[in-house]
A and B are shown apart, each in its own frame.
Chain A
């Protein structure tokens, strides 16, 4: 899918560069782009061999179903991070989306979906406008967003005391209905992933996102619509977080006010593990999907190894994230030297 094999021969190779170095660089790029996928495959194989319960369809389905919500948010985050930004508000937007969807489901399915999308989209839009227009750091703007959105969520839910229940069966079916043993959110996540892949790889918008993340100043000089692209990227992130929240509310039949706190960190970890550079300018949707699934598989393995508590999952995720960023750094250093 990537264009490595086409780029390498066309490169004007200096005489000193040996075939071994070229091969090393090729392996390096492969690792950076598909590292998460490789580790995922290894883990799945090891898990299937080592534990009987791991390779069962039920377990696979549970991993995929629980990953789908993280995946939807991570898609938006992928665009944000490739553009050189970060969005810390998605965890709060996810919760807000759930509360709004459960609240709106009293008035029908359409309202239950549109209300969270409209509100979360507006938050994304405003954050994008502030970031793009004033040049304030995305980190701090979305941090304020995290607090503000959480405050709004608490205000709506009577300081977290009220949990709106989804009593609309049609809306609940959206999160709970099954097709071939998998719930609808899995298919929605898959369709969105495909869409995002096309958007990132095959459209001018995707190219603009890469250009801004690679070098914003150069992108501005080349006439890339920097402000518009940035605003769109944060709008997308907000919309996807709201959608994931709405689907989650449908799955749980209620707008839970405590889940999803700190979710932004899981999402960022998944995106980074998937090979998207936090410095911007490089990354892929497939990598992000692999990263999300990898975190899901790690969690599933640890849950099933009896005497390990879920705290171990955090230790492993944190350690893994550290390894990935070290590897990314070394790989990109090696590439720059070549």
Chain B
């Protein structure tokens, strides 16, 4: 009755091929187009300082969306990442007295613990990922605010250095994000764990029947997502030179999901595209930077983002009854 694909067979084949191409290379093409347009039309776009600012700004989103890509690959979703960033920001200043490394470890452990809570709800209790992590989003943000009620500045030189120093002109946090991207790409493509994650996302029942440790893998995936979000929280705090659990990471789950989806990873799971996810995050950053540089307000950015998300999902959506 309501079949949308009633076009003639020939055009339909063309459309399927076009969508497949778009899903595969669309995000790269879009980034390239935007770059070219900017080089042509935006004054001083090629400044090194400009690139540095853009990269530093996008770093937390990139790190969070790496974990998100993994979770979405298992057919899940992790809404708690923004709150985990807030919690790790709170943790890192509370334990800064012991030095940067112990504080960092505490923050990462806290993030992984939140991930473990979400993961066990999803894997062992069987709660839908969206509700399990929604409960954490609400609760963990509250917890972070209870721990550090208002903006707390710190003067630890090591942590400040982590946020503001550079190696060969590239900010350290960008180097960290790049290293994590490569690590994640390796994890997904070349390890047993990566294959298991993709298999579970593709068909959980079949994975269970063929003896994969489904619950353990799911648990690990959510823990990785939590730990990555915590790291993003620490890096953002280091750059801010203050801990701000009230607003740090607010709505970053939306940006991360957007990056993953725009990168062509299907929400239905079973496929993870790490490099494209990073490209997706860069595309959104580039887009908002372009609009801002041409004096178009924030509201435009959000409306354009909405259209891009819809297009990306339309292209990658699953066909046929699910």
Contact = CB atoms under 8 A, between A and B. Distances in A.
B254 A315 contact: no
A interface majority secondary structure: helix
A309 interface: yes
A144 B142 contact: no
B135 A318 contact: yes
B310 A141 contact: yes
A322 B314 contact: no
B272 interface: no
A140 B132 contact: no
Given A318-B142, A319-B139, A148 B303 contact: yes
Contacts of A217: 321
B7 interface: no
Nearest to B145: A311
A55 interface: no
B313 A140 contact: yes
A133 B300 contact: no
Contacts of A314: 138-139, 141-143, 145
Given A140-B313, A155-B297, A325 B321 contact: no
A326 B135 CA distance: 11
B241 to A, nearest CB: 23
Please tell me the size bucket of the interface on A: 35 or more
A14 interface: no
B159 to A, nearest CB: 24
B134 A268 contact: yes
A154 interface: yes
Given A144-B310, A151-B302, A311 B131 contact: no
Nearest to A228: B2
Nearest to B142: A314
A155 B299 contact: yes
B317 interface: yes
A326 B121 contact: yes
A325 B139 contact: no
B179 to A, nearest CB: 30
Given A309-B146, A309-B149, A145 B306 contact: yes
Interface in A99-148: 130, 132-137, 139-141, 143-148
A141 B261 CA distance: 12
B309 A143 contact: yes
Nearest to A154: B299
A333 B302 contact: no
Given A154-B302, A315-B146, A329 B313 contact: no
A189 interface: no
Interface in B123-160: 125-128, 130-132, 134-143, 145-146, 149
A309 B145 contact: yes
Nearest to A327: B125
A272 to B, nearest CB: 6
Interface residues of B, number: 49
A147 B314 CA distance: 17
Contact of B134 (A265, A313, A326): A265
A42 B145 CA distance: 28
A93 to B, nearest CB: 13
Nearest to B1: A227
B310 A130 contact: yes
Interface string B1-36: 110100000000000000000000000000000000
Given A154-B298, A321-B135, A312 B267 contact: no
Interface in B272-311: 297-303, 305-307, 309-310
Interface string A223-244: 0001100000000000000000
A322 B303 contact: no
B309 A147 contact: yes
Contacts of B310: 130, 136, 140-141, 144
A133 B135 CA distance: 31
A67 interface: no
A248 interface: no
A317 interface: yes
A224 to B, nearest CB: 11
Contacts of A322: 121, 132, 135-136, 139
Contacts of B138: 265, 269, 314, 317-318, 321
Given A141-B310, A148-B303, A333-B126, A227 B2 contact: yes
Contacts of A134: 4, 314, 317
B309 A159 contact: no
B132 A151 contact: no
Contact of B306 (A136, A148, A269): A148
Interface in B240-277: 254, 257-258, 261, 267
Given A136-B314, A147-B306, A311-B142, 13 more contacts: A134-B4, A136-B313, A139-B130, A144-B313, A146-B254, A148-B302, A148-B307, A279-B128, A309-B145, A317-B142, A318-B138, A318-B140, A325-B128
12 contacts: A140-B309, A147-B306, A148-B307, A155-B297, A159-B299, A268-B131, A315-B142, A318-B138, A319-B135, A321-B131, A325-B131, A330-B125
Interface of A: 86, 130, 132-137, 139-141, 143-148, 150-155, 159, 217, 226-227, 265, 268-269, 272, 278-279, 309, 311-319, 321-322, 325-326, 329-330, 333
Interface of B: 1-2, 4, 77, 121, 125-128, 130-132, 134-143, 145-146, 149, 254, 257-258, 261, 267, 297-303, 305-307, 309-310, 313-314, 317-319, 321-322
Which 5 pairs, one residue from A and one from B, show the smallest C-beta to C-beta distance? Answer: A318-B139, A314-B142, A151-B302, A148-B306, A154-B299
